[in-house]
Amino acid sequence: MHTENDVAVLLAFWHAGPIGGQCNEHELLQLGELLRVRFLTPMFRRMTLPELTWFVGHVARANVFAAMCDYCC
């Protein structure tokens, strides 16, 4: 079974490659908006997602979302 965690990791591998590495900041922000953060596991949201370089533009919002999920869900 595949999860959204797998999607985020595969995007990290893609971003580290020749084509993904050519993305500009705006394209990476658009890509990050497509990731379904609510479907990531809580530990992945907290520990791994902020470390993914392709997601760096969204880290602050992801941390807020993770904190909200910790208290609401």
Model pLDDT, residue 4: 95
> Does the predicted model carry a pTM greater than 0.85?
no
Distance, in Å, from the CA atom of 24 to the CA atom of 45, rounded to the nearest integer, reads 23
- pLDDT (tens, 9 = 90+) of the chain, 73 residues, equals 789 999 999 999 999 999 999 999 899 888 888 889 889 898 898 889 888 888 877 777 766 666 666 665 5
Which residue matches tokens 């490659």?
17
Model pLDDT, residue 16: 93
Q: How many residues are recorded in the chain?
A: 73
Model pLDDT, residue 73: 52
Structure tokens at 13: 């591998």
Contact 45, 65 (CB under 8 A): yes
Model pLDDT, residue 62: 67
Contact 56, 24 (CB under 8 A): no
Query: Nearest CA to 36 among 59, 13, 4?
Result: 4
